[in-house]
Chains A and B, each alone.
Chain A
Amino acid sequence: DARVTQTPRHKVTEMGQEVTMRCQPILGHNTVFWYRQTMMQGLELLAYFRNRAPLDDSGMPKDRFSAEMPDATLATLKIQPSEPRDSAVYFCASGLVASGHSSNQPQHFGDGTRLSIL
C-alpha cells in the first residue's frame, strides 16, 4: 500500500532552534495538508496545498511557521524560532482532488512527527 512518509518521527530540541519537518505525499496525490495535534486542542489544520500552490494557511502562526512544497514529492513545515508551546504531533496528509470539485475524497495521513521543544 502507498503511504505518506514523514521524517523525522521524533524531534527534541531547545527553544529558539529551527525545526524542519518533511513529508513525502503519496505519488499522484495533488493535495497536501499539514495538521497539528495536541491533547488540549485535538487536531488542527495548519495549511494545505493544491498542485504545490498554497491554498490556505490561515491556521498557521505566520510569524514563526512556514510551509512549502519545493516539488511534488516533498512538503516541508518549518518553525523558526521554536517555542515550548509548539510541542505537538505534526501530521501530513495527502489526497487526490479533481479540479473544481469538492473535497469528498479521503485524506491519507502519515504517522506524524512528535516534536518536543524544551
Chain B
Amino acid sequence: KNQVEQSPQSLIILEGKNCTLQCNYTVSPFSNLRWYKQDTGRGPVSLTIMTFSENTKSNGRYTATLDADTKQSSLHITASQLSDSASYICVVSVNEGTYKYIFGTGTRLKVLA
C-alpha cells in the first residue's frame, strides 16, 4: 500500500535553532517527492521538489534530502525564525499512467522567541 509517514507529529524549538523533519515512504513507482509549508489558514507553498536522481535540494534556509534506497527524506531548517512556524507536508507522487499524490499528515512546527 502506498503510504507516506512523517515524524515528529509536532515540534517546538527556540528561534535560531536548527531542526530536521523526517518523511518515510512506501510508494511505487516513485516519481518525485515534494515538501510543502502550510501556514495556518493558507494554502500549501512548495519548498522543494526532488526526483529519483536528486539527493539534495535547497531553498534558502530549507534543505531537503532524499535517499531513494531507504525511501527516506528529510527537511532541514537552519537558523529557524518565528515565521517558520507552520505545518510541513511531505508528498510523494506516483506515476500510474496518471499521477497520484500520496500525502503525509504533516509535522506541525512551532518556533518560540
Contacts and interface: CB of A to CB of B under 8 A. Distances in A.
A associates with B: yes
Interface residues of B, number: 23
Contact of A104 (B45, B49, B104): B49
B53 to A, nearest CB: 11
Interface stretch (B20-28, B63-71, B76-84, B92-100): B92-100
Contact of A109 (B31, B45, B49): B45
Contacts of A107: 46
B46 A102 contact: no
A105 B48 CA distance: 10
- Judged by DSSP, the binding face of B is strand
A86 to B, nearest CB: 19
A60 interface: no
Contacts of A102: 31-32, 51, 95, 99
Given A43-B44, A43-B89, A56 B99 contact: yes
Given A45-B100, A56-B99, A104-B49, A4 B93 contact: no
Given A42-B104, A44-B103, A108 B46 contact: yes
Interface of B: 31-32, 34, 41-46, 49, 51, 89, 91, 93, 95, 98-101, 103-106
12 contacts: A42-B89, A43-B89, A45-B101, A55-B98, A56-B98, A91-B44, A102-B51, A102-B99, A103-B31, A104-B49, A106-B34, A109-B43
